[in-house]
Amino acid sequence: MRKAVVTAGTAGIGLETALGLAAAGFAVTVVGRSADRGAQAVDRINAAGPAQPARFLAADLSSLDQVRELADRIAAEHQTSGDPLTLLVNNVGAMFPNRRELGGVEASFVVNHLSPYLLTELLLPTLTAGSPSRIVNVTSGAVGVAKRVFDAVEPPGGYYGFHWYGRAKLANLAYTLDLAARLEGTGVSVFAADPGGAATDMTNGTLTDPKIVSPALRLLWPLVRRKFERSTSGPASAAARPSIVAATDDVLIGKTGVVIGPQARPVDPFRPATDRRVVEAVRRLSEAHAPAAAG
């Protein structure tokens, strides 16, 4: 039995990813905050008649303490049952129009990088035991507007939600590619998947405030926003396709460190994510603010 965990899997791209994985034969666990939405997601997946029933686990992935509890539960279950965990899809993501903190750390960096980073690191022994296995981290085209300075969790200057979101996603992409190199030969393959965009809870309404971008971009923001909104107006099912391909395509067997683009085909990685200075700085920040050893 192949088992998969999909974070933020109760709606939007995450739910469509879970549906695709269930159709491919996985026993899917969807993770989210709301028990009601979790029950609805499980009902929708199971209504399609998958070979293995889905289930829901509640966790607020903006809390690193709850990430640790989730990882402990999943690891203990697989150790007890002997069933391998063969897939982890880190789909969680959030954009914040106004600056906020979670546990004393800027929220975008927590949700978009530290949370999936910590869950992945804590589940690596379980995924390695279940190899051949895969990790899929969902990235974003917003990495292109990110400040590429990682001396601290936040770069200097004012807070602009769109750029901070892109910067956290850049950190996670750098981690993803670094992890792929680190795990080469272990039987655990690591991929990034760029959904391109879809109309989801995160994009609906978030992009209307020009204050989410820097002043330099603000005059052009109506034009940029319309272009971005067109790219995020498609169905979530299409945006989930890159994650499903990264998780299931046999062409990727034996490969790792591949980025699957919005057209569900491999693309060249965003070059700054492969910069050793960026990679090493992200590694230092991740280990300092979300130490896996503390779990």
Residues known to be catalytic: 165
CA distances (Å), origin 111, targets 44, 147, 239: 26, 18, 20
* Position 88, amino acid: L
Q: Cα dihedral angle (11, 3, 21, 31), rounded to 10 degrees?
A: 10
Which residues is 90 bridged to in the sheet? 137
Instruction: Measure the CA angle with vertex 263, ends 258 and 268; round to 5°.
Output: 35
CA-based nearest residue to 189, from 113, 143, 124: 124
Can you tell me the distance from the alpha carbon of 89 to that of 9, in angstroms, rounded to the nearest whole number? 9
Can you tell me the distance from the alpha carbon of 294 to that of 170, in angstroms, rounded to the nearest whole number? 25
CA distances (Å), origin 242, targets 103, 153, 195, 267: 32, 29, 6, 11
User: Residue 53 gets which letter from DSSP?
Assistant: -
What six digits make up the tokens of 223? 């034009």
Report the chain's terminal Cα–Cα distance, integer Å: 28
Q: Cα dihedral angle (204, 209, 215, 220), rounded to 10 degrees?
A: 70
Can you list the positions of beta strands (E) in 140-261? 188-193, 258-260
CA-based nearest residue to 64, from 153, 160, 4: 153
What six digits make up the tokens of 182? 């680190």
- Find all residues with CB under 8 Å of 125, minimum gap 6, and list them: 75
